[in-house]
Chain A
Amino acid sequence: MKPETMTPQERFDAAVNLRKPDRVPVCPLGFLFAGPLTGMTMAEFYTDLDAATAAQRKIFADLGGWDVVGLSGGTMTDPFPLTAIYPNKMKLPGRDLPENAIMQFDESEPAMVVEDYDIIIKKGWNHFFFSHLLPRIMPGYGGGIFGTIKAISKLLRFQKSFKKDIRYWESRGIPSLVGMACVVPYEMFSTARTLQQFILDLYRHPDKVTAAMDAALPDVIKTTLRGTKALGVPRVFLAGERGAGDVINPQQFDQFYFPWLKKLVNALIDAGITPLFHFDSNWDRNLSYFKEFPKGKCILDLDSATDIFKAKEILDGHMCLMGDVPAPLLTLGTPEEVSDYCKKLIDEVGRGGGFILSSGCSVPYDAKFENIKAMIDTAKTYELSKG
């Protein structure tokens, strides 16, 4: 087997810059699986950050390590930063769900009413979020000045601990995939309103919705730039799922989604930040839109609902792709099946470079150890063993 000739950071940078690294970089996204695999219940994993962090570091070592750590620390378990981008109630394991479930958004009731668009139009998103929306989602936080200070200090505490975790990995030569996270106003509104109500708003109040999206975007950009500076990782997790082709129609994508996505992405790129599109659901129909973003400046991370092979055809030489070992394969498949799929990804999507091998969305919390290992080991050995 040929030796590796790059550090994880160099390998990662090469892929993002559309070059061919010594071998494909691998990033099993998220760390929820560290709970069950180290004997913790999910309820413990969500509530005891120190123990969860220790579990993440242990499982990283047990699996032999990998190139890029994505969404470590409390990023997937702390309700506060998640609420800031997905503003609705959450159900937690051990509290609202069985001990070994994962946290989920509860969109059974809207947290925001139609009249709230007017507040956003007048006062911006941050004012609306802290003064009006947050107390409805998390009573005791936001609302008046004291509640707002309480909420901001929670967010800063999270930021501090995440920053510490990022530095821990950096000190071991492992780059973090992203620091700050954000979404376009469409995604925030549709979570707060619930998807169904929001879709009805698009039919019933289109002008109000777009005016509120215009008013919200500057706050999204400001918060994202500020957070990026604080965390010191020049890559942003830009999540998207409800603008996908299997959710929204083409005319609505043009009318309500893409213009704001473009403005947000351009603002990030202008500030020297690489946006990572973590785009779940099926974006097949919208893939050519990604050509409108500058070459080599973004990463498109797909969850296996989008055809990543088609994405390669369309975006080859233009945008780094990341993905997409499917959740059912990691949970129910065998190591051989995982390895075979990874080889196919490396051969086809990794051809010529510009590819990061990863799970489709985050690795499921109930993925099998040997399947995650098969993914990592295939990345480490497949290309280097070839003649």
Chain B
Amino acid sequence: MKKNEITQHLVDLNELEILDLVRKELEGGADPLEVLDACREGMIIVGKRFEAGEYYLPELIMAGEIFSEVSEILRSVIKEGSAETKGTVVFGTVRGDVHDIGKDIIVGILRGVGYRVHDLGTNVETEQFVKKMQETGAPILGLSGLITTAYNSMREVIEALDKAGIRKRVKVMIGGGVTDERVRVHTGADAYGNDPTDALKLCAQFMGGN
């Protein structure tokens, strides 16, 4: 299988070429899990290039789009749950805030590098977050918000996790246009991030315990 070629097309954002190649490889009997791995490898390189300042948000968006198109092709041939995941993350924009651009980009890249992400959408009620955390047992919760309304909503979610008795097993990261250390302290989150690199680093740190 032309694994390196798939990875390279993803890194170079060659949308038509990669889709064509993936279809051909699958028709030729390639292992879909290996195709997925090749794409994940590409997403990791895209993430690194972003971190190094060689790629910007548009490249992440385009890479995320290509990854989701490939995933769509693979969905019919990969058995649910057979692909390895790096871990489970629940994500959403908190109550009172409907901004989704930053959240969607982060969700896209986390999925791309191999996390299983439950995206709850925007203007998500506190109880929905708690319910999803209980249901999935996810160790990471990402709370997003762009406007100051989000500060108290984020705090409410974290207090609700505490009340539900699951705060200790969950790492909470917050992010969005107006988050900083002051906001982290106000909300009681474990960490805050300002860009996709921060989110990737925090997830790796939370999962690896370092």
- A155–B97 Cα distance when bound, in Å, is 27
Closest chain A CB from B200 CB (angstroms): 16
- A305–B123 Cα distance when bound, in Å, is 24
Which of B31-39, B53-61, B77-85, B130-138 lies at the interface? B53-61
Which of A50-58, A210-218, A243-251, A342-350 lies at the interface? A243-251
Whether B149 contacts A101 by the Cβ 8 Å rule is yes
Flag whether A3 is at the interface (Cβ < 8 A). no
Measured CB to CB, the nearest residue on chain A to B65 is A200
Known: A200-B65, A252-B58. A91 touches B148 (CB 8 A): no
Task: Tell me how many residue pairs across A and B have CB atoms closer than 8 Å.
Answer: 90
Whether B58 contacts A199 by the Cβ 8 Å rule is yes
Flag whether B1 is at the interface (Cβ < 8 A). no
Measured CB to CB, the nearest residue on chain B to A337 is B182
Flag whether B13 is at the interface (Cβ < 8 A). yes
Whether B148 contacts A366 by the Cβ 8 Å rule is yes
Flag whether B195 is at the interface (Cβ < 8 A). yes
Known: A328-B180, A364-B147. A108 touches B62 (CB 8 A): no
| Other-chain contact of B151, A102, A195, A199, A332 (Cβ < 8 Å) | A332
For B58, B97, B177, B186, the residue with the greatest tally of chain A CB atoms inside 10 Å of its CB is: B58
Flag whether A106 is at the interface (Cβ < 8 A). yes
Closest chain A CB from B100 CB (angstroms): 6
Whether A104 contacts B95 by the Cβ 8 Å rule is no
Whether B180 contacts A199 by the Cβ 8 Å rule is no
Closest chain A CB from B52 CB (angstroms): 13
Flag whether A121 is at the interface (Cβ < 8 A). no
Residues from chain A with Cβ under 8 Å of B57 in the complex: 199, 246-249
Whether A331 contacts B151 by the Cβ 8 Å rule is yes
Whether A101 contacts B96 by the Cβ 8 Å rule is yes
Closest chain B CB from A253 CB (angstroms): 10
Residues from chain A with Cβ under 8 Å of B144 in the complex: none
Whether A107 contacts B101 by the Cβ 8 Å rule is yes
Flag whether B25 is at the interface (Cβ < 8 A). no
Closest chain B CB from A215 CB (angstroms): 23
Whether A332 contacts B182 by the Cβ 8 Å rule is yes
Known: A91-B98, A106-B98, A246-B195. A333 touches B182 (CB 8 A): yes
Measured CB to CB, the nearest residue on chain B to A196 is B61
Find residues 101-156 in chain A having any chain B CB closer than 8 Å to their own CB: 101-102, 104-108
Flag whether A365 is at the interface (Cβ < 8 A). yes
Residues from chain B with Cβ under 8 Å of A108 in the complex: 98, 100, 122
Residues from chain B with Cβ under 8 Å of A195 in the complex: 61, 101
- A109–B195 Cα distance when bound, in Å, is 23
Flag whether B99 is at the interface (Cβ < 8 A). yes
Number of A positions contacting B (CB below 8 A): 38
- A331–B147 Cα distance when bound, in Å, is 11
Closest chain B CB from A176 CB (angstroms): 25
Closest chain B CB from A310 CB (angstroms): 16
Flag whether A98 is at the interface (Cβ < 8 A). yes
Flag whether B198 is at the interface (Cβ < 8 A). no
Residues from chain A with Cβ under 8 Å of B151 in the complex: 328, 331-332
Interface flags for B162-183 (1: CB within 8 Å of A; 0: not) read 0000000000000001111011
Find residues 38-91 in chain A having any chain B CB closer than 8 Å to their own CB: 91
Residues from chain A with Cβ under 8 Å of B56 in the complex: 245-250
| Other-chain contact of A104, B13, B147, B180 (Cβ < 8 Å) | B147
Find residues 110-132 in chain B having any chain A CB closer than 8 Å to their own CB: 122-123
Measured CB to CB, the nearest residue on chain B to A252 is B58
Residues from chain A with Cβ under 8 Å of B123 in the complex: 91, 97
Residues from chain A with Cβ under 8 Å of B5 in the complex: none
Flag whether B159 is at the interface (Cβ < 8 A). no
Known: A101-B96, A104-B97, A196-B101. A365 touches B148 (CB 8 A): yes
Find residues 17-48 in chain B having any chain A CB closer than 8 Å to their own CB: none
Find residues 57-89 in chain B having any chain A CB closer than 8 Å to their own CB: 57-59, 61-62, 65
| Other-chain contact of B58, A98, A101, A202, A331 (Cβ < 8 Å) | A202
Closest chain B CB from A109 CB (angstroms): 11
Closest chain A CB from B157 CB (angstroms): 15
Flag whether A329 is at the interface (Cβ < 8 A). yes
Measured CB to CB, the nearest residue on chain A to B61 is A199
Whether B61 contacts A328 by the Cβ 8 Å rule is no
> What residues make up the interface of A, taking CB atoms closer than 8 Å to B?
91, 97-98, 100-102, 104-108, 195-196, 199-200, 202-204, 245-250, 252, 281, 305, 326-329, 331-333, 364-367
Q: Could you list 8 examples of A-B contacts with CB < 8 Å?
A: A97-B123, A100-B149, A104-B97, A195-B61, A196-B105, A199-B61, A199-B62, A200-B65
18 further interface pairs, Cβ-Cβ under 8 Å (given A102-B149, A247-B56): A98-B96, A100-B96, A100-B149, A101-B97, A101-B149, A104-B97, A106-B98, A107-B100, A203-B15, A247-B58, A248-B56, A327-B178, A328-B180, A332-B151, A332-B183, A333-B182, A364-B148, A365-B148
